[in-house]
Each structure stands twice: as structure tokens, then as C-alpha cells.
Structure 1
């Protein structure tokens, strides 16, 4: 602390630097810290840079080969294997090993003896017959997507075991591919050779890979060659953006999708076909088939589909074929190059930057920081899971054991979270829709608190040896030792918080409903995140509005109008005339301008921004807001879409930003 007080300006410069792990540290810290200690300081103040520190540390002490992925030499894998060794491809999103395997079969002279089958419903008997024939005749048998036929995996396990006894043909090879799955037979993994390849990282690398798939004959086959070549470049860029956007995690996609080469190849064929068939380019048909049908076939989330449509509208338009050097991004280096031969497009792609700024995807620079912090958490979660689960007295030394660390924490930390949440009897007489919600929430929280107390009492007995430690108690024990919330406690409502923050959050949730029950009237401000079922609360507000209306109104005809309050939450003394005030929401991917009452860009390194209380007002037969007035992109745990003013930028700007209102944070 003394150093922070003595050199506040220097520490701020270090904290805000782009690469703090390389920047000189203030005061005596630069000379007094070794590399590991410097990494600990970076971990505490700039967790987004930990992976870079760890990479440098590994290179310096172990060598670069431990951080550089090896090139997969499939010919060497075949030479290393035997006829009884299964060869297993562990699939990554966007990677299909079939093409590489076919090419290997060609070069080794096994193409005529190569048999492939994609597993699924009803394919098991065919797969078994292929293996039996392959064992006798020396075939290469490739069973793809084993994770789609998990019920047949035990039988496949037996077939692999029998290979040792059967003594198959020397040329026989059994190739398997599967996404990681806990039910995949462990014996096959232990007996086999495991391989995995990841798709190339970066828009530039992905575009290079796609252009290698395009032959010279394809490149010159279209009747409108100039239009085709320009739109082909747009299509490659579109495909690469979709693949790379997943690095931004929840700011990229609500759900990660496995877009692959097949999507690109089908879209390229459609592009050539429609340009040949029509005099005028049918933009709407092309965009619909590519974005909605082809790529959209993977997409199961409506908000992700909206993002897909936003991108296709940017890249497939009249200006893309008529305007020279049409810009594909706000960055100056990304545009459709001057028309030329296939080699000229490849040369242009080679000149693109290897490091890609988040603006390329329409993202804020903070999005990079958010994804790096998530990767750091994943790294430490993995390291934590590798820690020894049993600590002997000699290994622990003079320090406390795992049991000693966990045992005193339950009574000390949980007494506060067990208030007496008892509803007043007046609430039962003629309950309003909001009273019903209150009673349901109290019932759920009472059940949760009772379950937490009983599991802690049992855990205390288990640690003392008075009862047998069941698997659920063991799991609770390990979670508490690692400061994680036990899965048994998480069932009441979703949360990403660690144990200490989750405990404080639970206390606040219980306090909201206990005060509401004591006062027997709704509060002025509702903390929406405090509800275990927030949709039930919002429906109750609509029901109350429908009952208050003199004319009978159906709840189905009501929708929401949203007004962000200009007052501080502490200054709101009364409920709104219509609807309710909702507090405790956070903006991610954007910030809020209180004066202009619209979305604005977030400050550097500001991951989330609290938004003032919002008046959720039920209205009848309300027309949808014009697109220019604002948008809302929800998280994967979708509750409700809130329309906010987009300010002086197009709403598509915030769609690409992945702007979202969060009900709860992960800390």
C-alpha cells in the first residue's frame, strides 16, 4: 500500500499500459521482483495479461516448444500405429478431419480400401459390419461423430478389445472422430492414439485457408466474373468473421456454433448459381439462403440470428460490387481489393495484419480484455482442479489440513444467511398477483436456506467422522475448499459468483423479500436479479395492470414501455404511476449517458456499467419502436428485451458490440 500511496501516478500509468507485464514497475518493485512475483502482481491488478506472462515464463524456463502447437503429421501417426490401435480424432469446432484423411489415403495407396461412415441413428449395424470386413480384408474404416451414437459406444469398446485377440490384417486401421464427451469409452482413449487440430486463428489465417479451397476452375466459372470474385471475397470475410467472433465469448455469440467448410462451399455454389441465372443480382434471395438457411441452420438463438443478418447486410449489398475498394470494416486495411487473378487475392490476404483489432468485428477494445480475463479464469480453474484432493499431515506440514480449513467456515459464514423469512398472515387473505409472487419466492428461499443448513450440518458430521461422506457431501466439501458454490445450492437460481460473493448476494436477496413481507406492501424499487423466477414477477406486474384498468384488458394484449430514470436510486421515494421501477441492472458492451438518455461507448477497461433504475410500464397494443431508436441484446439466460435509445449511431453498431443488460455479475 505504501508504494501505491507514494507513486500513484506511476502505478496508474503501469495499470493502464497496453502491456503491463513488459512495462517497468514503479519504485523498488522493478528490481525486487523476480518473474514469478511479477506474474502474481499482474494476476492481482491486470488479470487479462496473465496468459501473456505465463507464456513468457514457460518460454524462458522450459523452452518455446511447450507453447507452440506441433504440426500434425498424419503419415507419422499411421507409421506409429498398429492394426489393433484405434486412431481417435478429438474434434474442435469448425474442424473436419475427413478431407485430410482422404488425402492421406490417396498418398498411401489406400483410397480404394477406405470406408467412411457418419454415425447416428440406425448406423450401428453398418458400422459393425464395416469393422468386421475391414479386419479380414485390411480396410481403413473411419467412423465419424461417435458422440452422436453414445448408446453404441459400449459395443464399440468390446469390438476394439477383440482386436487384440482377432489378429486383424496388417493394413487394417480403425479411425474414429468424436467431440469431447464424458460418456466416450475411456478404454478406447487409453488404447488409442489421440489427435486434435484446431482451426487457424485470425481472420487472415481463415481467409487464406478458404482461398486454398477455391480452385482456378471455380474462380473463373461464373458468367459474371467481376461480381463473383468481389462477392466471393465478401463471403470469405463473412465466414472468417463468424468463426473468429467466438473469441469474445458472451460478447461474441450467445451460443458457440460450429460453422465449417461445408457452409462456405454450399454458399459459394449458391453465389455462382444465382449470378449465372439472374440478370440482376437477387440480393434478398442470396442473403436469405446464405445467412438464414445455410449458416442460419446452425443458429438456435434469435439474437444470434439477428447478428448474422446484420453482418450479411453489410457485406452483401450493391455497393460491394459497384464501389471500388468497398470497405468491409471501419478499419482502413479491410476492403475488397481491385479485381484480378486468384493469386492477386491471395497476395492481398497475405498483406492483411496478423493482429486484429476488435473494431474489425464491430467490437469495443474492452471486448478483448473481457475474453482474456475469462481465459485467465479458465486457466486458474484448471490449475485448481489439478491440486491434490487429499492432504496428508506430512504434506501439509505445520499448516492446517483441508478439513481444518473447511470445518470452521460453515457456522461463521452462514448464520447471517439464515434470517426468518415468514410472510404476514394478511398476505394469504386476498393475495394480489404481486403477493402471490412474494409468497412463491419466500417458499423457494426458505427451502434453499433449509437445504443449505442441513447440508452444512451433515458436512460437519462427515468431517468429524460421525456419518459416512456421501458423494454429494464430498462434492460440497471440495467446492467449499475451492471457494465455489456447491451444485446442490445453485439449483434455486443461476449464478456465476464465487462462494463468498454468492453468500453476500443470497443475504441481499433474502433481505429484499423479508422486508417486503414485513411491510406487507411492494417496495418502490424492485431488484429484478433477486427473484428466482423474474419472468413470473414481470407477468404479475402485467396482471396487476390489466386488473387496474377499468375496461377489461387481456394480459396477452399488454407489452412494455421502458423509461430510464434520470434520478439516483436513493432519490426515488415513491413507486411510478404505472408499472414498477427495476434496479440493479448492468450494461455490458456499452455505457449509459444520463443527460442524453442513450447508449454511449464504455470507458477503456470499464467492462460493465450500472444503469439507473428503469420504469417497466405496461402499455396496451404498443407499436414496436423504430429501429433507429434502440436495441437490446440479451445474454443466453434471456429474460426480457429492453429497448434503449441508440444515440447518434445506427442500432447495428450496438448489435455488433454485443451490448447486453446483465442482471448479475460474476464477482
Structure 2
């Protein structure tokens, strides 16, 4: 709303608004490509250069380059969105100020948006209204459906049953059916019967309905809901996640509700204690007649804390969980019943079956949702944090005492409570900012003005021309095959050929796609609105265009950066083909290696690059890895000469930890730093030790998983690993492995920026 009003009044450039949502990074000239200050990342500088091209922010990048000390104060501030900008940008406000915050401190963009909303509309727009079925029901009639818009972790059915009990409605008058394959006919029949008898009909999970049935639902609703013979007590309840197939007419005519899970550990705990059956004081005070209630009460609090903790870890992105799971109230309710069953009859604390409780809760109930093997390992660890978050004292024996204890907890829990490093807040803030702008992008209307449409198309054409001009020529495959023929003894020749084919295919696809984009009839030919191409081509949400992604490994780097990282056969690329031989004694200089390091990251992810020197039994052979004690600059002088049957690799980035180069082990991250580059690592075939399967052994170190991208998740393979997963590296550590598991520590072969 703020942007619409500002654009109409001429206060904000439309291009600044689009820049805020998408970033729109461009390919910079060499003179503008490097940051003028060590505290300013290259990505932030790229965004500043782009912002400096807009009239309302003209030459902002030049001002930052000339006054780095003044802008550094803004960057280092704990509240940069409230900090005073240097002149002449001191009075910058609204969307223009948000654009600068996005460049310098994108982790604080949510706080800046909240501050803007508070100033423009009032603080009441920052608070979430309470979920109230009764008020929505009061606005409904038998002719209008009531629609629950689902969100991860929400389960409105329990609240619906409680509301029905408050209205003294018989449960037999509530008919629930979960949609899915083959349930369409049954649902249609139930709606018709309910309309005649005055029932409440609940169609759960409409987004899972069989293909094409939602269109039929629209027809059924038009016939039933508009019928004059419909019973006045009839209500049609629908639950669904947002999906494109959901009928628009039902959304327009229906009463829409949503119940997002509470944000924050404290709010989550309070919600659990206000949810049936825990909300009943008698359930807490006397769970078992004639039996000490304290073991049950304290374990119940621990269960609620565990439920809140694993839900809150989802807010930290891949650092929290590799896969975003939908732990919800149903899991909690089943676990409470399980706890009650197992503790009944236990007269002493020693009789409490903790092992059975841990297994059933962690492995069966909550663990049943976990698909990733690394997440499963994390779920079974206890990650309780500071002394503030302990089970209430033995004197707390009532429901109110536990609620009062929860109310005394801090409003915001530090990341350490979840087992994470303090820097994890940065990852959380980045995730929330991405979700905000991605959501706004989906709500953006289509361009209506012809001038705006033409301007958007011109931006597309200009960037297409720029990318085409930067595309390197293709590799000469015949030259590579002649010098390095594919043989059994040289497996790296196979890898080299595969990588050259991939790069050639990628550049060919990019070139053909961009040539199509340059044509004026591209949008008309593909039946895509021009503004959708505008956002799609600008690689919104940090994803490469769908066509290009088919030719590239999982990649979340913005398209211009992908173009910059492509190897150039006329420059360093052909040098790689001609001089990187397994038997070659030629050494790369440090300068040459730095220029090639990022370009060859995709190739380093391959695990099959160990030379076959001789035939041998491989059943007990694995790829061992260890970090060299020598400095990187020393190792540069022996690359690409290989060790006996091994390979040197570099370009791994630690997330959730950093590498102590003096002591040669994992250490905690530095302030405001999410990633740290690992030194050069030698991979060699090695006999598996007996403890190889014991990932929890404190003597061995931490088995650090390596992923292709920062997203970590991917298609689940038959081994239980994500397709994004590459291997585990054994890294020395002064902490037990559980510490780094809870930290979410992993290595990546590429960063998003």
C-alpha cells in the first residue's frame, strides 16, 4: 500500500521499487567491480552501483566510495535502519531508505520495513490478530464457504472441534473428509447431503485433491451454495495451502482465515499450554489419581519445550533443518497422550521409562516426518541452552504456575538456546527478508501502463545484450579429446570431458534463450506477461532462469554472477585444458590459482577423480581426507602435481563454524560472519577404520557433510541423503560432534554470492 501511494504521488521511482524486490544485479565493468572498502562486500558494492543509476539515489556508490568512514558507522551499527545517513542522504526516507539498507545491511531489512509501517500506518499493523473462528463464523452464511488458509505447523481442525463444542453441537453433525486420489466423488456426495441436512462439512487439504477436481468443486459449490433449498445451518469448511488451482470464485465469495504458528519460543510455549488437553488445569494438577504428578508435569514441560524448539529452528533456514518440516499440533497432541500412557502407574522417578519415551517421541512421532539423515541425527540430540530455560522448580505444581514461568521468559530467545551460534540470527534475518520480498513479488499486479511495459522490456533487452556480450566462446572438445583421450587409467580425463560438455551446453542454452528474449514477440510467443518476464529474467529469489537451471547443477547464484564465473577458453579455460595433466610437473602461481578457484568449483564436487593406478579390492577402500598442516601458499607450489593416488581440492566453505588455521581444528564463527573458507584438502583412498560408522565418536572429530549449495535440501536418494549432498569430511575439533551437529555445521562448494 505504501509503495502504491508513493508511486502515484511521484515520491518513488518504479525502478527503485523493483530494485528493492529483486536486487537486479548487473554485470559491472572491471573498474567498478571491486569494493572500495574491506567492510563492504562485492555483492553490496554491486547493488550500490546499480542503485546509483536511479535519479533518487544518483551516484550513491560514488559517495560511499569517497566517504567510507562515515558509511562504515552505518554498516557497523546494531540498528542501521535507525542510524543517521551522511549528507546529502540524511533525510532519505521510505522506499529509498529501504533500498540503501538492502545494499549495506540486508539482514536488517525486516526491521526497517517494520519501522516504515509503524511510521506510515501505526504500530497496530505490526501485531498479529488472535485467531478467532467465532467472529469469522458470525460473518458467514450457508451460502458462503469458510476457508482455512494453511501455513506450516498449523492445524485448524482441533480448534474447529472446540468451537463446535462451545456451540453445543453434536460431533455427528461435523463430517470431515481428507481430499486425495479417488476422494472427489465422496466429497461431492458429502457436500450435497450436508446441504440438505444442515451439517458442517469439512473438506481437508484441498491442495492435495486429484488433478482437475478443484474445477469440479467450483461447479458443485455454485449449484449447492446458491440453491434455495439449502439448510440454513449448513456450513462448508475448506482447508488448503495456497495453490494456483484453487477456484478464484470461492476465494472471492468465502470467509478466509489463517492461523500461523506463533513466532518465538515464548509464544510457542504459551500456545502449547493454551491448547487442549494441556489447557485443562485438572489435566496438569492430577493426571493420575493417587500418584505423584511432578514427573508427568516436568516431562510435559520438556515435551512442550522440545516441540517449540524444533519449530523455531525452522526459522533459521538450512542452519536449522536441511528440510523444512511441518511439525504441528497433531505431533504434540499424540506425544502428550503417549507420555500419559507410559507414566501411568509409575510410583517412583526411577520407574519412568525415559528410553521408551525418547524413542517413541524422537524416532516415531516427530522422527516419522524427518526424511534427511542429517536432520534425523540432529533431532535425537538435546539442544537446551541457557539457565533461563530450565524446567520450573519443584514448587510449581499447577497449570497457572507453569504459565507464569513461561510468561517470565525473555520475549526473544537467543540462537544459543536452539544450539546455534549467535551469528545464526544473520541467516534467520536473510531468510525472512527473502520470504518477504518473494511474497510481495507474487502479489505484484501485471503492468497496465504501456510506457511501463515498454520500459520493462527495454531493461530486459539491455541486460540480454550485456550478458550475450560477456558470454565466453565454447571449448574446443576436439583439442581436449586429442590431448587427453578417455582411458581407463585416467579417470580425470572423463571428468574433464563431462565438464566441458556441460559448460558448452550451458553457454549454448543461455545464448539461445537470450536471443529469444531480445525479440519483441518473445512474451507474446510464450504467453507470458511482460512484467513476469521482467521479474523472472532478473532471477528473483536468487534462482537462475528455469531454462538455464536444466543445464546447470543446483545453483542459487544470481545470473550475472554465473556469467562472470564461467571459464573463458580464450583466457584461463584453455590453460586448464592444456596444462592440468595428472603427470604434469607445472605449478600454478598463487595469482593464477585465485583466478581459477571459483570457476572450477562445480568440477571439484566430483568424487570420482582418484587415479586408478592398479587393480585392487576396493571393498574396504574409501576416500580419506585430511587438512594439510602447511600453509596454503606452500601448497600452491605443488598443484596440480598429485600425491600418491590422491587429489588436492580447494573451494570448500564452512557454514556454522570456521577453521582455526593455527591449531588446525573447527572453531566458533567470528562476529557477523557466516562462512569461512577451508584450506586446501588432500583426498586419498584409505582403508576404513573400525570407527568409520561411529559418527558420534569424540576421538575422531566431526564428520562434516558437504553440499553443493547453501540450500542443502534436494531430491531424496535411496541412500537417505539429499541429491545436494556430496560426502562427509572428517574434521578435527576441540568440541564433541554433537556441538557441531546442533550448530548446523556443513561445508559448501559454492556460496550464493
Paired position in structure 1 for 2:725: 638
CA contact (8 A) 2:474 2:507 kept: no
SS in 2 for 1:641: strand
Equivalent residue in structure 2 for 1:581, among 648, 664, 677: 648
| Unaligned runs of at least 5 residues, structure 2 | 1-60, 588-592, 707-711, 714-723
1:661 equivalent to 2:728? Answer no
Paired position in structure 2 for 1:250: 318
Paired position in structure 1 for 2:231: 169
Paired position in structure 2 for 1:126: 186
- Please list the CA deviations of residues 93-122 of structure 1 after superposition, one character each: whole Å capped at 9, or x if unmatched: 111111221122233344352222223344
Paired position in structure 2 for 1:469: 525
Change (3 A) 1:381 1:139: closer
Paired with 2:313 and 2:264, the residues of 1 have a C-alpha distance of: 10
Paired with 2:522 and 2:196, the residues of 1 have a C-alpha distance of: 60
CA contact (8 A) 2:565 2:599 kept: no
Paired position in structure 1 for 2:42: none
How far apart are residue 50 of structure 1 and its match?
A: 1.4
| Unaligned runs of at least 5 residues, structure 1 | 315-327
How far apart are residue 230 of structure 1 and its match?
A: 1.9
CA contact (8 A) 1:559 1:622 kept: no
1:539 equivalent to 2:603? Answer no
CA contact (8 A) 2:567 2:573 kept: no
How far apart are residue 426 of structure 1 and its match?
A: 3.7
1:414 equivalent to 2:472? Answer no
Paired position in structure 2 for 1:591: 658
Paired with 2:515 and 2:404, the residues of 1 have a C-alpha distance of: 68
How far apart are residue 24 of structure 1 and its match?
A: 4.2
Paired position in structure 2 for 1:228: 296
1:69 equivalent to 2:108? Answer no
The TM-score, its normalising length taken from structure 2, stands at 0.78
CA contact (8 A) 1:202 1:244 kept: yes
1:294 equivalent to 2:351? Answer no
Paired position in structure 2 for 1:81: 140
- Please list the CA deviations of residues 58-98 of structure 1 after superposition, one character each: whole Å capped at 9, or x if unmatched: 12112233332233332222222222212111111111111
Paired with 2:175 and 2:129, the residues of 1 have a C-alpha distance of: 28
Listed as ranges, the matches of 1:274-289 within 5 Å are 274-276=342-344, 280-289=351-360
Paired with 1:2 and 1:68, the residues of 2 have a C-alpha distance of: 39
- Please list the CA deviations of residues 497-551 of structure 1 after superposition, one character each: whole Å capped at 9, or x if unmatched: 112112112337997764433336258889698465766x31342xx3xx324x6
Listed as ranges, the matches of 1:258-269 within 5 Å are 258-269=326-337
CA contact (8 A) 1:631 1:654 kept: no
Paired position in structure 2 for 1:98: 157
Paired with 1:605 and 1:439, the residues of 2 have a C-alpha distance of: 40
CA contact (8 A) 1:90 1:180 kept: yes
Change (3 A) 1:63 1:594: same
CA contact (8 A) 1:391 1:401 kept: no
1:445 equivalent to 2:503? Answer yes
Equivalent residue in structure 1 for 2:210, among 118, 143, 150: 150
1:335 equivalent to 2:390? Answer yes
Change (3 A) 1:560 1:481: closer
How far apart are residue 37 of structure 1 and its match?
A: 4.6
Listed as ranges, the matches of 1:364-403 within 5 Å are 364-384=421-441, 390=447, 392=449, 394-395=451-452, 401-403=455-457
Paired with 2:550 and 2:325, the residues of 1 have a C-alpha distance of: 27
Paired with 1:437 and 1:349, the residues of 2 have a C-alpha distance of: 57
Paired position in structure 1 for 2:493: 435
Paired with 2:535 and 2:598, the residues of 1 have a C-alpha distance of: 31
1:552 equivalent to 2:616? Answer yes
Moved more, 517-526 or 368-377: 517-526
Paired with 2:415 and 2:680, the residues of 1 have a C-alpha distance of: 30
Paired with 2:522 and 2:407, the residues of 1 have a C-alpha distance of: 68
Change (3 A) 1:194 1:428: same
- Please list the CA deviations of residues 565-597 of structure 1 after superposition, one character each: whole Å capped at 9, or x if unmatched: 342257422233341111111111111100111
1:480 equivalent to 2:537? Answer yes
Paired with 1:509 and 1:240, the residues of 2 have a C-alpha distance of: 53
1:304 equivalent to 2:360? Answer no
Change (3 A) 1:29 1:150: farther
Moved more, 628-637 or 155-164: 628-637
- Please list the CA deviations of residues 168-227 of structure 1 after superposition, one character each: whole Å capped at 9, or x if unmatched: 112111101012223333333233222111111111112122223313443322445332
Equivalent residue in structure 2 for 1:240, among 286, 308, 311: 308
How far apart are residue 280 of structure 1 and its match?
A: 3.3
How far apart are residue 480 of structure 1 and its match?
A: 3.0
The TM-score, its normalising length taken from structure 1, stands at 0.87
Root-mean-square deviation (CA, aligned residues, Å) is 3.1
CA contact (8 A) 1:584 1:663 kept: yes
Paired position in structure 1 for 2:220: 159
Paired with 2:650 and 2:665, the residues of 1 have a C-alpha distance of: 17
Change (3 A) 1:33 1:124: closer
CA contact (8 A) 1:529 1:664 kept: no
Paired position in structure 2 for 1:324: none
SS in 2 for 1:129: helix
How far apart are residue 335 of structure 1 and its match?
A: 1.0
CA contact (8 A) 1:228 1:275 kept: yes
Change (3 A) 1:186 1:527: farther
